[in-house]
């Protein structure tokens, strides 16, 4: 492999810890090294081909559809990516990339065109989600970033839609930042969860960045730091007279529920109402029923029961099938990591979406990878449009993937113009609009394609002209 010939020297022990916060000017280095070595080989061999590359997903980890998400961050990267002097000097010091090639990167501006399905669109395996046309050397510069951001957000938006479906209209909140794969993952998981139908997140920064509603309850720590559980509940209710949720499982959930009732009655005497109690351990089904019984006996039916604790679509589906009176769900690890794991069967796989970004056209000529050794990895050549067909009930019934220039007989074209000749020609919708789009689209998708287990694949017809080219 090309190793950077002059290895960066290891520094001495340091008293200044590194943050690894990414700055905008460093985005250009969020790149797999082969994209730069290929760039240099392209430069030396004067390869100025214009290509079209497709981002698509061959196989969906769970279920039979995807909720596309991440486009806004991808476009931000593509339009703002620059190689600063600082970056280029650093690369030059490493020694392997040539001065003339690095000099050529100084003027990098993406001046090509991008079509994509809007965020929140439902898509299926092998459908082009993003279609980038530009100089080959330019397009490969942001491949790693595009894949990383699209793969992750689409994974999470899809997972969220499954969890929200299982919750049957009861709100779902992202509680996953502490188990997310780094800070970026925490923030982007909150964004993508919201797109997939979550009602909010626990992560304040996601409120700041993306105007996502953020929510909070209390931790066991708060209870443990008071002489008694009732003391803790009182302290919290005093701080938030009209907006209190009490965590009742620190010591004994049913005792906790009784203590919550004491404080709820004290709040009533002040003209306020306890909003909710929260369960975070144990057998949520039996505990939620017992707690509802205790609240009912105390005439506190208005107090909601919120639950968290290793939840996912399978657990929530099971709880509600068994008539659990839980009113809302906080979902952490398995949402924010897009857990590819069936908690009923124990079967699992990598928690990642294996989307790829592949050349499909070069200088107007369709190209593809044949992959004799692994037919599943073959690429469908040619620049494409997806046409989605709707039946007389307004349900989606078939997608046709056609060559871009092919005359079509019907259906809605899904890929729309985002960037033209390097200029943004698209208004990014706000997240509420994106969430609404995903919701509407999912309603048009037949149940059989959405059930949590053994869903039926949606019919996607790859036009025969594409296959033979």
Site for a copy of itself in 184-203 (CB under 8 A): 184-189, 191, 200, 202-203
Answer yes or no: are the C-beta atoms of 26 and 87 closer than 8 Å: yes
In whole angstroms, the minimum distance from the beta carbon of 380 to a copy of itself comes to 13
Q: Work out which of 211, 228, 417, 440 binds a copy of itself, going by CB under 8 A.
A: 211
Find the binding residues for a copy of itself in span 37-66 (CB under 8 A): 37-38, 40-45, 47, 49, 51, 53
Find the binding residues for a copy of itself in span 270-289 (CB under 8 A): 275-276, 278, 281-283, 287
The answer to whether residue 269 forms part of the interface with a copy of itself (CB under 8 A) is no
Q: Work out which of 127, 138, 143, 315 binds a copy of itself, going by CB under 8 A.
A: 143
What is the x/- site pattern for a copy of itself, positions 152-171, by CB under 8 A? x-------------------
The answer to whether residue 350 forms part of the interface with a copy of itself (CB under 8 A) is yes
Answer yes or no: are the C-beta atoms of 435 and 194 closer than 8 Å: yes
Integer CA distances (angstroms), 222 to 136, 226, 228, 234, 238, in order: 56, 7, 11, 11, 14
Per CB under 8 A, which region of 105-113, 259-267, 346-354, 446-454 contacts a copy of itself?
A: 346-354
In whole angstroms, the minimum distance from the beta carbon of 316 to a copy of itself comes to 15
- Rounded CA separation 367/380 (Å): 8
In whole angstroms, the minimum distance from the beta carbon of 135 to a copy of itself comes to 11
The CA dihedral of 158, 160, 164, 165, to the nearest 10 degrees, is 20
The answer to whether residue 9 forms part of the interface with a copy of itself (CB under 8 A) is yes
The answer to whether residue 302 forms part of the interface with a copy of itself (CB under 8 A) is no
Nearer to a copy of itself, 181 or 444 (CB): 181
The answer to whether residue 406 forms part of the interface with a copy of itself (CB under 8 A) is no
How many C-beta atoms surround the C-beta of residue 356 within 10 A?
Answer: 16
The answer to whether residue 440 forms part of the interface with a copy of itself (CB under 8 A) is no
- Give the contacts of 390 (CB within 8 A, at least 6 positions apart): 396, 397, 411, 412, 444
Q: Work out which of 169, 271, 346, 407 binds a copy of itself, going by CB under 8 A.
A: 346
The answer to whether residue 409 forms part of the interface with a copy of itself (CB under 8 A) is no
Nearer to a copy of itself, 22 or 297 (CB): 22
Answer yes or no: are the C-beta atoms of 217 and 245 closer than 8 Å: yes
In whole angstroms, the minimum distance from the beta carbon of 45 to a copy of itself comes to 4
Bridge pairing between strands 416-420 and 113-116: antiparallel
Of 71, 357, 308, 334, the closest CA to residue 189 belongs to: 334
Q: Looking up tokens 């497709």, which residue turns up?
A: 54
- Rounded CA separation 353/55 (Å): 12
Find the binding residues for a copy of itself in span 106-135 (CB under 8 A): none
- Rounded CA separation 311/327 (Å): 14
Per CB under 8 A, which region of 232-240, 292-300, 313-321, 444-452 contacts a copy of itself?
A: 232-240
In sequence order, the β-bridge partners of residue 172 are: 329
Answer yes or no: are the C-beta atoms of 114 and 130 closer than 8 Å: yes
In whole angstroms, the minimum distance from the beta carbon of 9 to a copy of itself comes to 7
The answer to whether residue 75 forms part of the interface with a copy of itself (CB under 8 A) is yes
How many C-beta atoms surround the C-beta of residue 106 within 10 A?
Answer: 12
How many C-beta atoms surround the C-beta of residue 11 within 10 A?
Answer: 7
Per CB under 8 A, which region of 157-165, 326-334, 388-396, 460-468 contacts a copy of itself?
A: 326-334
């Amino acid at each position: 492999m090309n190793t950077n010939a002059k290895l960066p020297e290891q520094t001495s022990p340091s008293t200044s810890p590194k943050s690894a916060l990414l700055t905008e000017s460093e985005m250009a280095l969020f790149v797999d090294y082969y994209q730069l070595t290929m760039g240099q080989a392209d430069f030396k061999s004067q390869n100025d081909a214009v290509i079209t590359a497709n981002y698509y997903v061959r196989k969906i980890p769970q279920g039979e559809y995807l909720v596309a998400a991440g486009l806004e961050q991808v476009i931000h990267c593509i339009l703002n990516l620059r190689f600063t002097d600082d970056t280029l000097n650093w690369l030059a010091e490493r020694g392997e990339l040539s001065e003339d090639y690095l000099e050529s990167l100084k003027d990098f501006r993406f001046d090509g065109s991008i079509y994509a399905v809007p965020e929140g669109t439902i898509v299926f395996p092998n459908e082009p989600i993003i279609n980038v046309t530009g100089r080959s050397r330019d397009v490969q510069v942001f491949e790693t970033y595009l894949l990383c951001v699209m793969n992750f957000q689409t994974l999470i938006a899809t997972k969220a839609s499954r969890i929200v479906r299982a919750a049957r209209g009861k709100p779902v909140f992202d509680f996953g930042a502490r188990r997310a794969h780094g800070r970026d993952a925490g923030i982007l998981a909150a964004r993508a969860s919201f797109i997939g139908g979550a009602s909010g997140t626990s992560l304040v920064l996601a409120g700041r960045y993306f105007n996502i509603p953020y929510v909070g309850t209390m931790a066991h720590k708060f209870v443990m730091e008071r002489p008694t559980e009732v003391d803790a509940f009182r302290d919290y209710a005093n701080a938030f007279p009209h907006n209190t949720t009490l965590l009742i499982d620190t010591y004994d959930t049913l005792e906790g529920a009784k203590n919550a009732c004491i404080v709820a009655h004290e709040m009533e005497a002040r003209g306020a109402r306890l909003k909710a109690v929260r369960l975070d351990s144990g057998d949520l089904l039996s505990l939620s029923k017992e707690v509802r019984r205790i609240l009912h006996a105390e005439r506190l039916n208005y107090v909601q029961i919120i639950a968290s604790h290793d939840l996912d679509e399978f657990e929530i589906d099971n709880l509600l099938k068994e008539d659990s009176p839980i009113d809302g769900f906080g979902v952490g690890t398995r949402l924010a990591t897009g857990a590819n794991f069936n908690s009923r069967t124990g079967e699992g796989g990598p928690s990642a979406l294996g989307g790829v970004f592949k050349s499909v056209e070069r200088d107007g000529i369709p190209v593809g990878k044949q992959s004799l050794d692994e037919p599943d990895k073959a690429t469908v050549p040619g620049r494409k449009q997806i046409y989605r067909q709707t039946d007389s009930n307004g349900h989606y019934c078939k997608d046709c993937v056609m060559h871009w220039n092919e005359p079509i007989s019907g259906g809605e074209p899904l890929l729309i113009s985002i960037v033209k000749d390097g200029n943004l020609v698209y208004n990014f919708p706000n997240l509420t609009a994106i969430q609404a789009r995903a919701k509407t689209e999912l309603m048009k998708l037949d149940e059989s394609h959405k059930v949590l287990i053994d869903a039926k694949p949606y019919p996607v017809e790859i036009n025969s002209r594409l296959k033979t080219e």
